[in-house]
Structure 1
Amino acid sequence: MIDVTLVAGKGDLERFIRLGPELQRGDPAYVAPLLMERRQALSPKHNPLFAQAEIAFFLARRDGRVVGRISAQADRRTGETGHFGLLAAEDDREVFAALFRAAENWLRERGRTRILGPFDLSINEEIGVLVDGFETPPMLLMPHNPPSLPARIEAEGYTKAKDVFAYLFDNSTRPAWARRVEKRPLPPGVTLRPLDWKRYEADLAAVVDIFNDAWSGNWNFLPLEGADLDAMAKSMKPLIVPDFVQIAEVNGEPAAFGICLPNLNEAIRDLSGSLVPLGWAKLLWRLKVKGVSTARIPLMGVRRSVAKGATGAFLPMIIMSRLGNEAAKKGIRHIEMSWILEDNAPMRHFGQTMAGDPYKTYRIYEKALRA
């Protein structure tokens, strides 16, 4: 018998958080997230998503032993579509069936007629299930799961809603495309500058404003605003390198940006999620002194008013070239660009030009919730 219950209290929440790392401990490519970060991400006090959505966490037990977990999110901005996420369980169909039944019933009770996921916990956080590229570790804020997970989800009646891709390019030598871009003068009226540390909040607000405009037509887009911006500013600050944030201005107005983040997962890979007793010292040494050799570009955007012209087509290339150049100075040898929607033809072409075929594929699933 599988018993599924709502998480109740700090003890249950700690079991919920620790289950994922426990189940994947034997996977050499898996990187356990920092427990401190997970506690904050799943806390209404620290994650502004809780002000926009009802969120439930479920634990599955067999004979009193925790064997699975799932979350369900009813975001008031997503209409009749509910979300699931944070899925992890022993490889047992009965466990998965019980978890999905609990999440689906909870969403039905809140008037949701469709379920989409996984989103951990929103589309602006970790998304998708890894379906290709299991042999290499995930970059920061990217999921990693057992190869059996997609089939378990599909067995519960879920079908593909969308694939997203990750591209990995070699930053150890300047590629031909970058050398060509660097030889071209900037278009008239265009300037490119790094983030100004003295104006961190203002510059990040400009970046988010561009992001909300550039991505507004994207599939299932949810804007970043208000408390979302404050939370992002606080969480990203320890990882920000000013030269790794490039802002393009057109006639003095911010029009495009790109953000490259050092790969935190490389620095924490052997810490098993804990920063005590020596984890803090190791993490600070690796990030601030030794440095890491990998990084990820999670965000890039061009204002729609600029994107359609020749200048708009050129801005992502010059931003990417500048980010790669600055990253190389810090010893970054490989950079991941993710995630890229399968139907975003311009960005897929851009990724293909820089890196070849995607090296990882993630899938988002959907299912109709019938009464």
Structure 2
Amino acid sequence: WIDFIDDLEVARTLLNTVEQWGKERGMTEVQGPLGFTDFDPEGMLVEGFDRVGTMVTIYNHPYYPKHLETLGYTKDVDWVEYLLKLPEENWERTERISSLVAKRFNLHSVELKSRNQLVKKYGKPLFDLVNTCYSVLYGYSMLSDKQIEQYIAAYLPLVNLKLVSLIADKDDNLVGMGITLPSFTRALQRSGGKLFPFGWVHFLKPLLTKKPKEIDFLLVAVHPDYQNKGVNAMIINDLMPRFIGMGVESMESNPELEHNVKVQQQWEALDKEQHKRRRAYRKEIQ
């Protein structure tokens, strides 16, 4: 992460210190902003400053990328974000593809009956699937078993089962999944980013509501052996009818690498607007 006031000399002093620290330790390049894991906020906002962010991203003012570029930092990679809306047309084509894929590859949608089932039976396999699918992505660091245990304990007990799609093979091995959450953006705004003394009250609504208006995609993954075979259609076909029934009005994709065409193709059945862009910068240390 990086933070500084709108003053080029402040940014220069800060980054020069970082570069010197790296040079003294034999490093040759500065890269970022990046988190410690792929589940931390990544990238600096460069487009969409007038748009509302999500819980898993950070906001920065336009002067941040401007100062970095003035100081010789160049683009390393971009993430794009989409605002998604349900199309008015029916879902017959998606339903048909989903049915064909399920029959052809002997796959099925997992019926989740309790959060305990999600945590105990599918928690570890779910994050193992994430490690397998995300390992080839820019900046990804493999999650250790300890980290996986922490994420399972922190997030899965809060998940609304209706907002989760798990796709498994005939042996009940996970081959695909989509996990979404009600948007916490308004709650974060109203609480001022503080849980106490009364900020937590604002988080009860998205946690308890049965009819969220806005949804955030948290995790989407398809095993490499099943990519480009239509498993994404099964995930979309699982979730979208539920969203329609809940009265969902819009969805946020959250950041995805701009060159990750496989992920972007899954939004083809939806009305989409690419409305935000984030960037990781790099600079060689002189």
Normalising by structure 1, we get a TM-score of 0.69
2:186 equivalent to 1:266:
yes
Q: Supply the AA of the counterpart residue of 1:220.
A: G
Q: Which residue among 204, 207, 212 is the counterpart of 2:131?
A: 212
The 1:110–1:293 alpha-carbon spacing in structure 2 relative to 1, beyond 3 Å, is farther
Match of 1:283 in 2: 203
Instruction: Choose between structure 1 and 2: higher strand proportion.
Output: 1
Match of 1:251 in 2: 170
**Counterparts of 1:89 and 1:175 in 2: how far apart (Å)?**
47
The 1:147–1:305 alpha-carbon spacing in structure 2 relative to 1, beyond 3 Å, is same
Q: Which residue among 330, 337, 341 is the counterpart of 2:246?
A: 330
Q: Gapped runs of 5+ residues in structure 2?
A: none
| Contact 1:266/1:292 (8 A) holds in 2 | no
Q: Which residue among 65, 79, 95 is the counterpart of 1:182?
A: 95
Q: Which residue among 63, 67, 70 is the counterpart of 1:155?
A: 70
**Counterparts of 2:256 and 2:267 in 1: how far apart (Å)?**
9
Q: Supply the AA of the counterpart residue of 1:138.
A: G
The 1:174–1:205 alpha-carbon spacing in structure 2 relative to 1, beyond 3 Å, is farther
- SS at the partner of 1:323? helix
| Contact 1:266/1:294 (8 A) holds in 2 | no
Deviation at 1:141, TM superposition (A): 0.3
| Contact 2:115/2:156 (8 A) holds in 1 | no
Name the count of aligned residue pairs: 279
- SS at the partner of 1:227? helix
Q: Supply the AA of the counterpart residue of 1:241.
A: N
| Contact 2:94/2:269 (8 A) holds in 1 | no
- SS at the partner of 1:365? strand
Moved more, 325-334 or 111-120: 325-334
Q: Which residue among 222, 230, 233 is the counterpart of 1:317?
A: 233
Match of 2:110 in 1: 193
- SS at the partner of 1:279? coil
Q: Supply the AA of the counterpart residue of 2:95.
A: E
Identity, % of aligned positions: 23
2:34 equivalent to 1:116:
no
| Contact 1:194/1:244 (8 A) holds in 2 | no
Moved more, 121-130 or 158-167: 121-130
The 1:88–1:111 alpha-carbon spacing in structure 2 relative to 1, beyond 3 Å, is same
The 1:210–1:313 alpha-carbon spacing in structure 2 relative to 1, beyond 3 Å, is same
**Counterparts of 1:313 and 1:235 in 2: how far apart (Å)?**
32
The 1:282–1:343 alpha-carbon spacing in structure 2 relative to 1, beyond 3 Å, is closer
**Counterparts of 1:283 and 1:297 in 2: how far apart (Å)?**
18
Q: Which has the higher contact order (CA 8 A, sep 6+)?
A: 2
Q: Supply the AA of the counterpart residue of 2:40.
A: E
Q: Supply the AA of the counterpart residue of 1:144.
A: Y
Q: Supply the AA of the counterpart residue of 2:143.
A: L
- SS at the partner of 1:88? coil
The 1:122–1:153 alpha-carbon spacing in structure 2 relative to 1, beyond 3 Å, is farther
2:79 equivalent to 1:164:
yes
Q: Gapped runs of 5+ residues in structure 1?
A: 1-84
Listed one character per residue, the Cα deviations across residues 239-259 of structure 1 (whole Å, up to 9, x for unaligned) are: 411122211112222111111
Q: How does 1:45-194 map onto structure 2 within 5 Å? A: 85=1, 87-171=2-86, 175-176=89-90, 178-184=91-97, 185=99, 186-188=102-104, 189-194=106-111
**Counterparts of 2:191 and 2:218 in 1: how far apart (Å)?**
24
Listed one character per residue, the Cα deviations across residues 244-288 of structure 1 (whole Å, up to 9, x for unaligned) are: 221111222211111112212222211112223322223213431
| Contact 2:190/2:199 (8 A) holds in 1 | no
Report the RMSD for the aligned CA atoms in angstroms.
2.2
